[in-house]
Amino acid sequence: MNGPFDGGRNGDRGGPDEPEDVRGIPRIPGQRTAADDLDPPAADVLRRAVESHARAARAAEPSREREEPEEPDATDEADEAAGVDSGADVDSGTSPDVSPAPDPEVSPGTPREPAHPPDPAGERDMTGGRDRYAPPPRPPAEPVGPPPSHSVLKSLLGAWALAACSPEETTHVENHLTECAPCADEALKLRDAVGLLQADRNLDLPPLLRARVLENCLDRRAARIPVPAWATPYDAETARLDALLRDFGDAEWHAPLQLRWFEKEERTARRATVAGVIGHLMTVDGLVASALGLDDPLGEPAPLSPTDRTEAFWRSAHPPPTRTIREPWRDQSHTLIRTVSFAGRGVAELSVSYGEFALPLRDAMIDRAFECWIHGVDIADAVDYPYPPPSGPHLHVMIDLAAQLIPSALAARRRAGLAAPAQQLVVPGSPGRSLHLEVEGAGGGNWYIALDSPAAVGTAERAVAQVALDGVEFCQLVAGHISPEEAAAGQDGDREAIRDVLFAAASLSRL
């Protein structure tokens, strides 16, 4: 027997010289060396060591059964397969009758590998003459350490709703939610909000959102002092442009752009910056402010022509305008809206002078809304940002104002020799030759333009030509952004009348 008492002289495994059919067969062990044959001192020492080892093994057995899972040990399985009784009495010095079966793959001199990998952090448990290894430690079910404070857990609710917390943080937060009702309510709202997030949605607000919100509010409670209907386009367009400018950085405010308009028979352009365009809008709005008795941004005296006012502002602006121009422009537009709202009905017919011509206040406010939209498009193009057209009702009143001004512009071009002479004398207020202007799309409609006199009335019965345009394209023509030759989508009838009307529409543009 290969054990601690025979010095390994007679092994239970077949030696290398034995034939293959004999190796591995259990053998009856040879005669043990009697303890009495040893020297008395050596026999006493050996006996005391064996007895001490047996007592330690019996004392360690109950604690080991409590700590270790009830799993069969690889060594026990091997002993049982070989017919060895692992509970042999060590004190009696007896040994089992049958030795364990040898491993055919392992030679007698090769040590056997342990059933479990050794634990470097622990000590071997020498029990019953076998090496015992504790199972690997399991991760704790609950996080170790005290939970964070209430404020820390509350700050983690957003990350928890997005499933961005670590496992320990998730456990702490969920344990806290079972105890704190306010945090549980907030966590529920955050989790619902996460479900509404969609990465592929456009984060820009719909252009009609403001109108829908205001309409809903006014349906519930009417405004004590409502904004006049003819001032709502100006209110909407200044708000849209201000929303575009709100997040501009210094680079955007200094972005270059071209202001384009149509003068006589050709298109004209002027270089400017985003800040310079806002200054231009502020100075021309100053004409409306002066008519209402408000302060003129240019002071006194100031020119009346929009072009002269803009040039004077640009010359006096040293250094060039920056983002600081936004606040005075927006304050002025708010003041105009409040003033016309409190002024009452009679203020709508107040005359606003533009130098060479004048407009009633109701038309001047629509004109300012139109220019705010057109220059908003210029600014958006300069920074590569989309800028939709106004709502249908607001676009309709802008087209209607331009259609009303075309007969006067045509008469001015005729006096300057730029249009064909009138073909019929018309009594003021009576029907005359007309052009049917058909505007398609949102804000469109049908208008009949008097051709021979601004005082004549355009009618369908006296129409000699027809022009069809898209609503936005017609406004771009009136703003001087497209030429008359490329504006009309459909033409029919008197070609000379069509040309005169299209060029008269383009001449309405200015700086």
The amino acid sitting at 119 is D
pLDDT in the model for residue 362: 96
What Rg value do the Cα atoms of the chain yield, rounded? 49
Say which residue, 116 or 271, is predicted with more confidence: 271
Q: What's the pLDDT tens digit per position in 402-415?
A: 999 999 999 999 99
Say which residue, 152 or 145, is predicted with more confidence: 152
Burial class (CB in 10 A: 0-12, 13-18, 19+), 231: buried
Reported as a pLDDT band with limits 50, 70 and 90, residue 163 is confident
pLDDT in the model for residue 300: 81
Q: What's the pLDDT tens digit per position in 56-112?
A: 656 655 554 454 444 444 444 444 444 444 444 434 444 444 444 444 444 444 445
* Mean pLDDT of all residues belonging to the chain: 78
The amino acid sitting at 319 is P
CA 212 to chain centre: 23
Q: What's the pLDDT tens digit per position in 259-294?
A: 999 887 788 899 999 999 999 999 999 999 999 999
- φ, ψ for residue 293, nearest 5 deg: 85, 15
Alpha-carbon distances, residue 450 vs 304, 320, 411, 417, 426 (angstroms): 29, 45, 10, 18, 10
Residue 349 has pLDDT above 60, yes or no: yes
Range in 98-112, 159-173, 355-369 with the lowest mean pLDDT: 98-112
Residue 235 has pLDDT above 70, yes or no: yes
Alpha-carbon distances, residue 461 vs 338, 447, 501 (angstroms): 44, 13, 18
Could you tell me which residues come within 8 angstroms of residue 44 by beta carbon, excluding any fewer than 6 positions away? none
HSE-up of residue 288 (Cα within 13 Å, Cβ side): 29
pLDDT in the model for residue 230: 95
Residue 188 has pLDDT above 60, yes or no: yes
Question: Facing residues of 447 across strands?
Answer: 437
Range in 39-53, 213-227, 243-257, 473-487 with the lowest mean pLDDT: 39-53
pLDDT in the model for residue 273: 94
Residue 320 has pLDDT above 60, yes or no: yes
Percentage with pLDDT > 90 across the chain? 44
